Amino acid sequence: MMGSNCTGAPLSWLLMEQYHLGELPNDEMSRVKQHLESCPGCAQCMDSIENSSVQLKPLPPLPESRLGELWNIFGDHWKMGVGVAAAAAALTIAVLFVGPTTTATSLPPASMGYKGGDLAIGLSRSRDGAVDETPTVFEDGDRFNVRVTCPPTGVSVWDVVIFQGEDVFFPYDNREPLECGNLVPLRGAFSLSGDAPTVICVVVDEEISRDDIAHQGIHALPHSTVCTTVQPVK
């Protein structure tokens, strides 16, 4: 993140996200502002955050009968993940999910071996100025950043798919190639709302048909997909 003319330690991506949202204390806002004025590298990253941050529209609550169905499905199929990538993603998901116009199917895992390395999804959540690096729940308006672990060869094509109840969202339109590493944050953030469990997936190395996924749900996701789930706060 540090540019060639950066003065001092570079700012973290999450700190700049909080600055962009006005969620920092006044003294910290001033410190970040002064750093951005003197550091072209961090200022360029700040421009990226301001220009590529995206937000999902508020999601409508599901009918009560549908909520009960999904809650029973998810409640019966949790299992804890293991390993570094699963710890970063908080949970390895092995649940059933009813996608749009599909029957129930197994979700992709939160991490897998891929091209001689690892492919994994992680999340960070910002709420009222506090950041959680291993979130498992959300409240209306919580902002999320997706982080991806991928092999050092890099990823030229990727997309993020979000399933909530009967709805499917594709929050990222600016999808520049990834220089892979351990839990690399994607540029931009999105907000969640609603009353249903929400599945967040990253697809790499394959051009997906958003229309197919919107109509077929999880059945249309390719093999090179990792997913994690966050639950609404009851």
Given a cut of 70, is residue 35 above it in pLDDT? yes
- At which residue do the structure tokens 């970063």 appear? 88
Q: Which residues are CB-contacts of 180 (< 8 A; sequence separation ≥ 6)?
A: 117, 148, 149, 150, 151, 152, 153, 154, 155
Domain ranges of the chain: 13-52, 64-232
Over residues 98-125, the pLDDT tens digits come to 344 333 458 899 999 998 899 999 999 9
pTM for the model: 0.62
Looking at residue 52, what is its pLDDT?
Answer: 57
Over residues 48-66, the pLDDT tens digits come to 676 655 555 555 444 444 4
Q: Which residue has the higher pLDDT, 77 or 11?
A: 11
Of residues 49, 59, 15, the one with CA closest to residue 194: 59
**What is the DSSP pairing of strand 225-232 with strand 190-192?**
unpaired
Given a cut of 80, is residue 68 above it in pLDDT? no
Q: Compute the average pLDDT of residues 154-169.
A: 92
Q: Which residues are CB-contacts of 111 (< 8 A; sequence separation ≥ 6)?
A: 81, 83, 85, 86, 89, 92, 118, 119, 120, 121, 149, 226
Residue 189 to residue 166: CA distance in whole angstroms:
22
Over residues 192-212, the pLDDT tens digits come to 988 899 999 999 999 899 999
